[in-house]
A and B are shown apart, each in its own frame.
Chain A
Amino acid sequence: MSAKLSFSRASENALMIYIDGIATAENNLKLCQLEVALRHQFKHTLLDTIVSYNSLFIEFDFILLDEQQLIDFINNSYLSTHVTQFNNVVHHLPVYYGPEFGLDFDYVCDSAKITAAELIQLHSARRYHVYSIGFAPGFAFLGHIDDKLHLPRRSSPRALVEAGSLAIAESQTAVYPTTTPGGWHLIGRCPLTTFNLKNQPPTPFKIGDSVQFTPISKSEYQHLMGSQCRV
């Protein structure tokens, strides 16, 4: 049985599509496939599309494209959408875990009542799904982390979180692509660049991709920092 779609309007020029209310990786991928089908069908009459967790946002010009036409196409296209082939792009990101850059590393260990080695093991063992990209350019929301590591966001966000910081909040994890304010718990640092306008595309992550973190030592971190590698 396919999950149900529901429609809602976001503005006179934008439509929201929700899938059942549950954000599973499979539902997220179905929306990605629907997005591809829409782009193929309507091309430049779509001004923007955003897949995020269990929703797909579609921006268009209502004078050029009738909303009902869009809804009819989605209903027909979705019926023929079967996620048979999962996107198999996996990004391997090296991370220097620990309190030196992970300012909340010890706090997370204490809260979860686990050792440093256990935190690194629990966080790096899983392969994460990219559910959404936003908040800041190149910021990929990855899920889901081990239940033991779930913590609410910090009550007061930091004014500046360094680019490359690896962070967790609730069931999610992410690498800060640029230095920005941030309210997540920091547990390590990735030496690779994950957002640069000079690259094509500027961020390696696409919704539906997978990400796996690999623990590295400080000397490996320093070596990679010097080499200006990108993902």
Chain B
Amino acid sequence: MQGLIEVVSGAQFITVQDLGRNNVSQFGMSQGGAADPLSFKLANLLVGNTEDCAALEVHFAALTLRILVPITVSFTGAQCSLVINKLTYPLWQSYTLKPGDIIELKNCGHQTINYISISGGFCSPSIYCSHSTIIREQIGLKINNNDVLFAKKSSISRERKLDVNAIAARIVNRPLYVVPSYQHANFSQRARQLFFSNTHRIGLRSNRMGVELTGNNISPPKQQLYSEGIALGAIQVPPNGNPIVLLNDRQTIGGYAKIGTLVSSDCAVLSQLPASSEVNFKKVSFDFAKTHAIEQLKWYRELKQQICKK
């Protein structure tokens, strides 16, 4: 193990993530995993890693890092100012840095989440085959200011980059897609109409567990439910009428009625939106959702090819 990077400031916004923990719901443990998997995987590919290596997920970036050994580092995700030794550089690239280099990453406010990966991947405890950190469950690596982050071994890799125009399509300017799942049919006509035709505002209490939608009082059905398994993107409606879209760090089970499920690729889009953003939803069929997921996968493969061929 080798100390690579020192977190000088801004540690409170950082967790280590990968693609999440499967098959642990039997113990009541959350899935976790990168909230924006596309940006996460691209960060890894840009430093020559496999797509699922442990990387840093940074929310509302306002951090300073100091490089301790020669290393190749990549930056992806939300629009940010990236300053290395007082010079500004673009995201969606990797850079080979030397000891003493100072990185400053500052969020610009339009989206919230960035990923930082290093060649070789970060070293953090693997729990049930995953490095994902879940703060609420005290699982994974808690990072503090002045901590030194480690890798299994220091390595440098060829610098790679993505065409910024190619990844612009990840920011969608359309209603987010919701499939009519779970108790959708049990909601009143009026509740469904309010949900799908009105604009919602993202609540302040939103985090990696879920995003709260405020501004529309959606009445849940009266029926009592037994707690049941919750899918990524499930939209539960508690009695206070503010729906919650359940995301990566969600509880495994819940007993509130669910009006639908956000399609998986749009969960990343929603995760990236800051509090007070406005958002609309469109009901789509399951067949449409599957076709959309396949298109997203094709697009990711094209981006992957673009990184790997150069």
Measured CB to CB, the residues of A under 8 A from B are 8-14, 16, 23, 46-50, 52-57, 59, 62-63, 132-139, 141, 177-178, 195, 197, 201-203, 206-207
Contact = CB atoms under 8 A, between A and B. Distances in A.
B234 interface: yes
A54 B225 CA distance: 10
A74 to B, nearest CB: 15
Interface in B41-96: none
Interface of B: 22-29, 31, 127, 137-139, 179, 181-182, 226-234, 251-254, 261, 263-264, 286, 289-290, 293-294, 297
A195 B27 CA distance: 9
Nearest to B226: A53
Contact of B289 (A12, A57, A134): A12
Contacts, number: 126
Nearest to A177: B28
A178 B138 CA distance: 10
Contact of B229 (A16, A23, A203): A16
Given A133-B26, A197-B127, A63 B264 contact: no
B23 A135 contact: no
B290 A11 contact: no
9 contacts: A8-B182, A12-B261, A23-B226, A47-B22, A48-B31, A56-B229, A134-B253, A135-B253, A207-B26
A135 B251 contact: yes
A52 B286 contact: no
A12 B27 contact: no
A52 B27 contact: no
Contact of A47 (B23, B227, B254): B23
A50 B229 contact: yes
Contacts of B27: 133, 137-138, 195, 201-203
Given A12-B264, A63-B297, A197 B139 contact: yes
A132 B22 CA distance: 18
For A11, A135, A136, the residue with the greatest tally of chain B CB atoms inside 10 Å of its CB is A11
A52 B261 contact: no
Contact of A13 (B226, B229, B231, B253): B231
A96 B113 CA distance: 46
A62 B290 contact: yes
B137 A137 contact: yes
Contacts of B24: 48
Contacts of A13: 231-232, 264
Contact of A54 (B226, B254, B290): B226
A59 B231 contact: yes
Contacts of A23: 226
B26 A206 contact: yes
A182 B28 CA distance: 16
A53 B53 CA distance: 36
B228 A52 contact: yes
A137 B251 CA distance: 9
A175 to B, nearest CB: 12
A201 B253 CA distance: 20
Contacts of A14: 229, 231, 261
Contacts of B233: 11
For B23, B252, B290, the residue with the greatest tally of chain A CB atoms inside 10 Å of its CB is B252
For B127, B233, B253, the residue with the greatest tally of chain A CB atoms inside 10 Å of its CB is B253
A179 to B, nearest CB: 10
